[in-house]
């Protein structure tokens, strides 16, 4: 298998054109799709990442016409910026972009920039540049790889994306080692096994990464709609429809096992008087406080829902 890969050579310039048009069409398609829809921050970041990647691949093609001390730092900045934005968009889509994660990516962005400057000034050689860029890419992808594969609440799609990032990190580690040890004159146009795997990994990120982002976006939208349909917006407990559906399932299970259940219907007395006297804001606070207090007293298997304005229902399934 390794021999076959070593004998097979990519036409690297053709691959670069593939990446240019691939990222370009993806950016245009997602932009057109979102033209009349809600423009969330994650999708905006993802589109911007694709434009930066288009510029990166275009910049490589003009290396022969632009001084290298300008073209090479610019290309490195574009690919790291584009890759970083794509990862951040993915993490934002899954609600994982907390303060610590922001600080982590800010730190490695600053450190990678300093590293490139040092190499450009003191060790300006293609193998050092490739090794440095590859190692910093690993730092960018290792967090989503770890989090996506170890998250117990994650979907199979998230774990698959995590494995994809792990595979790309391994490829970048191998590319760095080859550049430092075996191919000291290596550049982005060098044809060897490490480069073939690198371009293959970039192609997989282009296709599977984009498909994964779109599917995660749909997954996130579905979960949002599911929460809206299942839980009462004000109190956070089950809505009327969700309570009835869950109660029917609990009752069927209890009947099959010959277990006892208890249904309790609650109506808050004089609630209208509270609204009329103190206003609807005060009434809302009463409902929230009642729901919060009641929920804290229930067992894990019990159901609690709001079935009307000030009407609530409790199905006790954990009583003897």
Q: How confident is the model at residue 37 (pLDDT cuts 50, 70, 90)?
A: low
Pairing of strands 303-306, 262-267: unpaired
| Portion of the chain with pLDDT greater than 90, in percent | 0
Residue 4 has pLDDT above 50, yes or no: no
Q: Which domains does the chain have, with CATH numbers?
A: 2-229 (1.20.1070), 240-316 (3.30.70.270)
Q: What is the pTM of this model?
A: 0.67
Q: How confident is the model at residue 1 (pLDDT cuts 50, 70, 90)?
A: very low
| Portion of the chain with pLDDT greater than 70, in percent | 92
Per-residue pLDDT, 319: 58
Residue 185 has pLDDT above 80, yes or no: no
Per-residue pLDDT, 38: 67
pLDDT digits (tens, 9 = 90+) for 142-167: 888 888 888 777 777 778 888 888 88
Per-residue pLDDT, 91: 82
Q: What separation in angstroms does the CA of 283 have from each of 178, 274, 313? A: 69, 6, 19
Per-residue pLDDT, 10: 64
The mean pLDDT value for 277-290 works out to 82
> Does 189 or 295 have the greater pLDDT score?
295
| Rounded distance between C-alpha atoms, residue 27 and residue 210, angstroms | 10
Residue 195 has pLDDT above 70, yes or no: yes
Residue 71 has pLDDT above 50, yes or no: yes
Mean pLDDT in the chain? 80
Angle formed at CA 212 by CA 28 and CA 96, multiple of 5 degrees: 105
Per-residue pLDDT, 178: 84
Per-residue pLDDT, 5: 45
């Amino acid at each position: 298998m390794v021999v076959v890969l070593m004998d097979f050579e990519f036409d690297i310039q053709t691959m670069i054109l593939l990446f240019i048009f691939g990222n370009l069409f993806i950016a245009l398609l997602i932009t057109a799709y979102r033209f009349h829809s809600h423009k969330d921050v994650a999708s905006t970041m993802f589109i911007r990442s694709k434009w930066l990647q288009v510029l990166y691949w275009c910049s490589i093609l003009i290396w022969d016409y632009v001084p290298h001390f300008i073209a090479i730092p610019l290309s490195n900045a574009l690919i790291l910026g584009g890759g970083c934005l794509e990862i951040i968009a993915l993490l934002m889509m899954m609600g994982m972009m907390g303060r610590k994660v922001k600080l982590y990516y800010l730190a490695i962005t600053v450190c990678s920039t300093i590293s490139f400057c040092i190499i450009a000034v003191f060790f300006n050689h293609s193998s050092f540049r490739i090794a440095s860029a590859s190692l910093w890419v690993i730092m960018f992808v290792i967090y989503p790889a770890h989090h996506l594969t170890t998250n117990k609440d994650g979907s199979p799609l998230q774990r698959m994306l995590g494995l994809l990032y792990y595979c790309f990190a391994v490829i970048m580690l191998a590319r760095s080692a080859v550049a430092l040890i075996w191919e000291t004159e290596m550049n982005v146009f060098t044809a060897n096994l490490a480069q073939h795997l690198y371009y293959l990994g970039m192609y997989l990120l282009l296709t599977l990464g984009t498909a994964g982002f779109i599917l995660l976006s749909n997954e996130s939208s579905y979960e949002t709609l599911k929460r809206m349909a299942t839980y009462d917006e004000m109190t956070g407990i089950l809505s009327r429809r969700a309570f009835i559906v869950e109660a029917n399932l609990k009752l069927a299970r209890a009947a099959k096992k010959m277990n006892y259940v208890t249904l309790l219907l609650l109506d808050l007395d004089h609630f209208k008087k509270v609204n009329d006297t103190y206003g609807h804001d005060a009434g809302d606070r009463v409902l929230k406080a009642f729901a919060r207090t009641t929920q804290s007293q229930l067992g894990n298997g019990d159901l609690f829902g709001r079935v009307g304005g000030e009407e609530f229902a409790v199905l006790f399934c954990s009583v003897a």
